[in-house]
Amino acid sequence: MAIYGIGTDLIQVSRVAAVMERTEGRFATRVLGPDELVVYEARRARSAVRGLAYLATRFSAKEAFSKAIGLGMHMPMTWRAVQTLNEPSGKPIMVASGPLAQWLDERGITMRVTISDERDYAVSFVIAETDCPIR
């Protein structure tokens, strides 16, 4: 395996809260994939703070991922094309779908992600690895 790219992102949770207020909550449905949205809604139902922290970490992971693969937010990379989910152990994993999954497969790219949050910030770090020769 070789490193294809590395990405990191740090976001202030209050900025996410402000966007959620400005968009009347639509930001979550624009950014989160279907599986992430289910978890977000459950966490938000228990605690608005926990829901917001979840949204911030997932947004941060998508930003870090887009940097690691070098596309930014350009096709086939879209907000909902990659989700940060958790294995039963709690370990976060990134799962791509649609054209982005195909793009990653063609390049032999797999991802490793770590996420963390504190009251004011969420941070993510993504390593994209490949088993194909890097061009």
Binding site feature residues for Mg(2+) = 9, 63
SS (H, E, C) 19-71: HHHHCCCHHHHHHCCHHHHHHHHHHHHHCHHHHHHHHHHHHHHHHHHHHHCCC
Residue 76, preceding peptide bond in cis (omega within 30° of 0): yes
Q: Which residues contribute to the annotated binding site?
A: 9, 63
